[in-house]
Structure 1
Amino acid sequence: MSRVVIIGGGAAGLLAGIAAAQNGASVTILEKMRQPGKKMLITGKGRCNITNACELQEFVKNLPGNGRFLNSALHRFTNNDIVEMLENNGLPTKVERGGRIFPVSDRAKDVVDTLVRLFTSLGGRLLTDTKALEIVVKDGRAVGVKTINGVHTADAVILAAGGASYPGTGSDGGGAKLAAKAGHHIVALKPSLVPLESDYPYVDELQGLSLRNVQATLLADGKKIGSEFGEMLFTHFGVSGPIILSLSNAAVKALNAGQEVELHIDLKPALNAEKLDARLQRDFKEYSRKQLANGMKDLLPQRLIPVVCDMAYLDEEKFVNQISREERLRLLQALKSFCVPITAARPIGEAIVTAGGVDVKEINPKTMESKLVGGLYFAGEVMDVDGYTGGFNLQAAFSSGYAAGCAAANI
């Protein structure tokens, strides 16, 4: 019976532990926090977006950060496999908009509890409040893990300690340091799926305003680098929400390259310019004797009207019947391309996902074993792999964890 020690009791670590135990290994998970799966507890706004119901080939497209590296692992342990595992162990799931899969209970804790229960029922040992200090390497092989409570000897070690986002959950970049100490190259950690900052003067006025069904396009030095449709939110520092998070990786790369980044929001994407102009003319005819601010009340949220008018160089107190064709077309342009300059990303500690980590060129994609240190495996966000929102990052953790666990048990 091989002895497998896993560093980290999150999504990747728990799946690695389950897979290793199912393959007959003696498994110990070392979790430095008081409870396992703390980051899972806050995913999906506390509901846990387990995975996505899309076809497998779509997963790689939604993992822009080295998704191809995970192709083998994703096929070995699929989105259907994690759903089946949870449902067979008493946790029913449901599919929501965009193929997102959640537990029927809408409780992330139920997902964590189900995985922990399965792991321990297979004979796995979970040690909490146990921080790993070093991966013990002898003669080019991982032979154990040194912790604050002593050394755990092993035939195989799986590093599944997460990235550097939400450090309060235990994901504080410590895994990358352990890998570096063991001789691995670390691709610089940076935020992915993170809110964006703006010095736009209207941000304070719009704070808390949520926009739905808008098209947000990201430009870097005037060139389109991404576009997303859906929901976004203005905050005290800039912008957030699902479509902003999806665009943030591209924004971070452009900002790091010193490019000028702008967010152009189409507030009425369902209407082309011609149809929107016709809509404006109808509204202006109906409210011809009202001031512009009141003449647009059917078109935009009240708080957005003065800002859009200002962007179009229009006086919101001007009467609608005094608006010229040229002024109406300026208003049309502001509605179709509401521009917000992006100055920075929020700190990595506020990111949902970390980009960067252990260089995947140094990892065997079929087994997740290190190419540099025998018996050392990697799983989850500690590797330089990241994806969009929608359950893709958790599936990457589950699939890589499963692959690592199977291989480590059969070492």
Structure 2
Amino acid sequence: MKIAIIGAGAAGVMAAITAKRLNKDLYIDIFDINNLIGKKILASGNGRCNISNTTITQDNYIGENPSFVNQALKEFDFKAFENFCKSIGLILDIKDSSKVYPLSNEAKSVVLLLEKELENLQINQILETKIEKVIKKEDSFILKSEDKEFKDYDKVLISSGLQAAPQLNSTEDGIDIATSFNHSFNPTYPSLVGLQTDFEFKSKLQGVKKEATVTLYIDKQKEKEITGDILFTKYGVSGFAILDISQYAVYALSLYQDVAISINLFPTLTKNELLGIIETLFKTIPKSDAIDALTGVVSKKLAMVLLDINNINKDIKSADINAKQLRAIINTLTNMRFKIDGTQGFKHAEASGGGIRTDEVDNKTFESKLCKNLYFAGEVLDIVGNRGGFNLHFAWASGFLVGKSISKL
């Protein structure tokens, strides 16, 4: 039996290894547009490779039908993944945060060991080859690149991902192939990405970083709240808390909903506690410029913007700040609101949302319900995970289920 796998990322490689281990008689070709496998694995975790997570549930995923992931997570949980890693000689470093990295702390070691296993199993790698079209004639498939044809495949897996990180040659060719077999898809969007805002003073805050609580509002209704690092940028906001909340924000943007966020820069204090701290500060140094006094609690850039936002004279002294102005400053520090009007795009996104609709795919085998012996795995499906190793784990898990299925005659 001859198998074609389009896309040598985590899902495709896992499917190839699993299938060949279960059925030594398979002939498997794995195609990739890049000159080596696992380009996105190499980029994961800033090169450290946040490879999985020990606590994974449906709640860590977004899509039209997040429950689609349940069978894959059940059959290929973290313990199963850990055992797979041991089988290729990869030792894991499990953090207290539940995030999982290779003990080597290098993504390169993950890719190297996967590559060695492909070689050991005699899985044929056809690299620097972009598959543009798949045709089914009777019971076999033909794959077409720009200048070649690859024939007589019994089964085909599309695991070529989506458009996140186009600098790694990411494309949406998998969707194009799927639609040629009458599959439909939900619009794709960048996920785990910086957000653009309409904030008038964003350029003045560029570079300010703070632990904060970010609250997401969709159509003026509170939707999500996340605490973590935020970073003000020339285009809007970034940082871990923003990347996390971006998944929900950008999904709403893709549906043309009104999206806004509120930032509380002092989430561990009540408004009254913060008010008391700043009141005491101003009374302690009454002759100081208010901007200089505020640098006792915030950065100077932020202190200047606080006065700008609230139309307070920049040269005002601490002693001259009245109660109304002080309340306005406190409100800004604990409820800085602005509208989200865009993202930094696929180039800066860690993942893509949207993709092939999961109700057209069998959740136990990941086989197409519309075309026998055509399979999908990984990011090309309308499933996107939270930051923290969840996207890679779904790629491994979905690849494992496909591998089991395609190994059978």
> Could you say which TM-score interval applies, normalised by the shorter chain?
over 0.9
Quote the offset at 1:29 in angstroms: 0.6
Pairing 1:243–2:244 present: no
CA distance in 1, matches of 2:256, 2:188: 18
Matched to 2:49, the amino acid is C
Answer yes or no: is the 8 Å Cα contact 1:18–1:405 preserved in 2: yes
Q: SS state of the match for residue 304, structure 2?
A: helix
Which residue of the partner structure matches residue 23 of structure 1?
22
Q: Are residues 1:71 and 2:62 paired?
A: no
Q: Secondary structure at the match of 1:326?
A: helix
Is 1:287–2:276 an aligned residue pair? Answer: no
The residue that corresponds to 1:168 in the other structure is 167
User: Is 1:210 matched up with 2:209?
Assistant: yes
Mapped to 1, the partners of 2:397 and 2:198 lie a distance apart of 40
> Following the alignment from structure 1 to structure 2, what is the Cα–Cα distance between the partners of residues 34 and 253?
33
Deviations 1:343-378 (A, max 9, x none): 112323432211111111110000000111111111
Give the letter for the 2:109 counterpart: D
Cross-structure match for 2:221: 223
Question: Structure 2: which amino acid aligns with 1:3?
Answer: K
Residue 14 and residue 218 in structure 1: after superposition, are their counterparts in 2 closer, same or farther (change >3 A)? same
Paired residues of 1:356 and 1:383 also in contact (CA < 8 A) = yes
SS in 2 for 1:132: coil
Which residue matches 2:37?
A: 36
**Is the 2:367–2:374 Cα contact (8 Å) retained in structure 1?**
yes
In 2, distance between residues paired with 1:166 and 1:157? 25
Aligned counterparts of 2:9 and 2:84: Cα–Cα separation in 1:
16
What 5-or-longer segments of structure 1 have no aligned partner?
none
Instruction: Check conservation: 1:290, 1:320, Cα contact below 8 A.
Output: yes
Residue aligned with 2:282, SS: helix
Which secondary structure state, in structure 2, belongs to the residue aligned with residue 15 of structure 1? helix
C-alpha distance in structure 2 between counterparts of 1:310 and 1:158, whole Å: 56
Mean Cα displacement is larger for which, 352-361 or 98-107?
Answer: 98-107
Partner residue in 1 for 2:349: 351
Say which SS state the counterpart of residue 343 (structure 1) adopts.
strand
In structure 2, the CA distance between the partners of 1:106 and 1:302, relative to structure 1 (3 Å rule), is farther
Q: Which amino acid in structure 1 is aligned with residue 396 of structure 2?
A: F
Structure 1 position 181 matched with structure 2 position 202: no
Contact 1:357/1:382 (<8 A) preserved? yes
Give the conservation status (yes or no) of the 8 Å contact 1:194–1:351.
yes
8 Å contact from structure 1 (residues 32, 170) kept in 2: yes
SS at match of 2:61: coil
Residue in structure 1 matched with residue 295 of structure 2 by the alignment: 297
Aligned equivalent of 1:118: 117
User: SS of 1:400's equivalent?
Assistant: helix
CA contact (8 A) 2:187 2:254 kept: no
1:386 CA drift (Å):
0.8
1:9 corresponds in structure 2 to: 8
Matched-pair contact (CA < 8 Å) for 1:86–1:115:
no
Instruction: Report how far residue 257 of structure 1 moved.
Output: 4.2
Report sequence identity in percent: 30
- Match for residue 398 of structure 1 among 388, 396, 399: 396
Q: Structure 1's 221 and 70: CA in aligned 2 closer, same or farther, altered over 3 A?
A: closer
Offset at 1:142? 5.1
Q: Distance in 1 between matches of 2:326 and 2:30?
A: 64
Correspondence for 2:152: 153
TM-score calculated relative to the size of structure 2: 0.94
Q: 1:222 & 1:143 partners in 2: Cα distance?
A: 50
What one-letter code is carried by the residue in structure 1 that aligns with 2:111?
Answer: V
Structure 2 CA distance for partners of 1:292 and 1:97, relative to 1, 3 Å: farther
User: In angstroms, what is the RMSD of aligned CA positions?
Assistant: 1.8
Residue deviations 1:269-295 (CA, integer Å, cap 9, x gap): 000112212222232232222111111
CA displacement 1:88-119 (0-9 Å, x = unmatched): 43332223363211122222121111222222
> Per the alignment, do residues 200 and 98 of structure 1 end up closer, same or farther by CA in structure 2, a change over 3 Å counting?
same
Selected match of 2:232 from 231, 234, 237: 234
Provide the secondary structure at the position in 2 that maps to 1:190.
Answer: strand
Matched, 1:195 2:194: yes
Tell me the secondary structure at the aligned position of residue 385 of structure 2: coil
Give, in angstroms, the shift of residue 221 of structure 1: 3.4
Which residue identity does 1:186 align to in structure 2? Answer: F
Q: Please say which of residues 270-279 and 89-98 is displaced more in the overlay.
A: 89-98
1:45 maps to amino acid: N
Which residue does the alignment assign to 2:53?
52
Where 1:339 maps in the other structure, the secondary structure is strand
- Describe the SS at the equivalent of 1:184: coil
One-letter code aligned to 2:72: A
Instruction: Measure, in 1, the Cα distance between the counterparts of 2:283 and 2:207.
Output: 32
TM-superposition CA deviations, 1:205-240 (whole Å, max 9, x none): 2222222x2001122332212221101222222112
| Deviation of 1:251 (Å) | 1.9
Tell me how far apart the structure 1 counterparts of residues 54 and 314 of structure 2 sit (CA, whole Å): 46
Range with bigger deviation, 283-292 or 173-182: 283-292
Residue type of the partner of 1:166? A
Change (3 A) 1:306 1:97: farther
Matched residue SS, 2:28: strand
